Structure 1
C-alpha cells in the first residue's frame, strides 16, 4: 500500500451523517447539479471544502452535465492543498460513493504519489472502497493531466475487469446506463 499520512474515506450521501464526527479535515463533494448541498459537516466544517457539480456520465446525454477538465483541474488543485506531513482526513463523496468519488480519489492519490505505479494507486482505492467503479471520463482527464500516458486508464480497466468477474450482474445495467464503453474496457483489459 501507498505510505501516506492522509487518511482516506470514500462514501455516498447516505453515509455522510455517520461520518460527521470522524475528524474530516478536507471534504470534496461531487454532486449532481440539481442536488442540494448536504447539511452534514455544517456544525463542524472541515479546514478545506470543495463542491463540484456534474452528473455521473461518460458520454454527452440530453440534460446531463459531464465532468470537464476544468472540474478535474479544480479537484487536483484541492488535492495539492493536502498536507504532506501533518495528519489529515480526506473524505470524498458523491451520490453513491462508487464512481465519481473513486475517480476523484484515484486522481488525488496519483497526483500526490507521482512515482507510484498505476496499479498500486488503483489498489489503494479498492482497499478504501471495495465497490469502486471509477468514472472513466474523469480518469481519462486525470491520466492526461498527470502525464500518465494511458497507464491510469489501463489500471482502471483492470479494476473494471475484476469487478465484473466478482459481480457479472453489473454489466447489463452499465450497458443500459450509457456506460458500455467501461464494460468494453473491462473486456479488453489484460489480466
Structure 2
C-alpha cells in the first residue's frame, strides 16, 4: 500500500525483546522500551550504538486485574508528550519494543502516528499492518488516545477494522486471544 505522505518523518521499527539484537546495526537513534513493572531491563542495548532511550513500565492488560498495573491516562499523556518532544529532535530511526512487539509497542506506534496525522487513523493502521503484520494494539491505550486526541471514536473504529483484518490473516492465533481478557476484541469466526 502506498501512503501519500509519510506518517512519521523517520523510519519506525516495532519488535519484541527477542528481536532486539537483529536491529542493533539499523541506525536506531531513539528507543522506546515498554515492559512489565517487575521485568529486568534487556541487556541487548549494549549491542547498540549510543541512542536516546525512554522506558515505561505497565502490564499489557486492558481491564484492571489484581496485582497488575494497567496503562493509565498519565502513561498515554507521556506518549503524547514524547511525540511532541520528537518534533524538536533529530530522529534518525525510532525503535519501539515491548515483550513481544504485538500490543503495547504497536499501540504506542499508533498513538504517535495518529498524533501527527489527524483524520488519517485508517492510514496509521495500514502503515502498522505493513511494518508489523501481526499486531494487536492495546485497546485500553488506543481508547484513551482517541479521547485525548479528540478523534471521536475514529481511532477506535480504525482499530476495530484492524482487528478484523488481523483475525482473518492469522486465524491460528485467535484462539489464544479468545482465551484471554481480549476475547471481546476478537471478531466472531466467519
Question: TM-score, with normalisation over the residues of structure 1?
Answer: 0.89
Maintained 8 Å contact 1:56/1:135:
yes
Asked if 1:130 is matched to 2:133, the reply is yes
Q: CA offset at residue 171 of structure 1?
A: 2.6
Maintained 8 Å contact 2:16/2:100:
yes
Asked if 1:57 is matched to 2:61, the reply is yes
Alignment of 1:52-131 (within 5 A): 52-83=56-87, 88-114=92-118, 116-131=119-134
Q: CA offset at residue 144 of structure 1?
A: 0.8
Asked if 1:34 is matched to 2:59, the reply is no
Equivalence for 1:181: 184
Maintained 8 Å contact 2:134/2:170:
no
Name the CA shift for 1:84/1:131 in 2 (closer, same or farther; >3 Å). farther
Name the CA shift for 1:34/1:87 in 2 (closer, same or farther; >3 Å). closer
Equivalence for 2:24: 20
Equivalence for 1:139: 142
Unmatched tracts of structure 2, length 5 or more: none
> What secondary structure is seen at the aligned counterpart in 2 of 1:41?
helix
Asked if 1:165 is matched to 2:171, the reply is no
> In structure 1, what is the Cα distance between the partners aligned to 2:184 and 2:23?
34
> In structure 2, what is the Cα distance between the partners aligned to 1:82 and 1:88?
11
Name the CA shift for 1:54/1:82 in 2 (closer, same or farther; >3 Å). same
Name the CA shift for 1:40/1:95 in 2 (closer, same or farther; >3 Å). same
> In structure 1, what is the Cα distance between the partners aligned to 2:66 and 2:162?
29
Q: CA offset at residue 173 of structure 1?
A: 1.4
What are the superposed Cα offsets for residues 35-60 of structure 1, whole Å, 9 maximum, x if unpaired?
111123345231x3211111111011
Unmatched tracts of structure 1, length 5 or more: none
Maintained 8 Å contact 2:35/2:58:
yes
> What secondary structure is seen at the aligned counterpart in 2 of 1:6?
coil
Alignment root-mean-square deviation, CA: 1.7
Equivalence for 2:49: 44
Maintained 8 Å contact 1:29/1:92:
yes
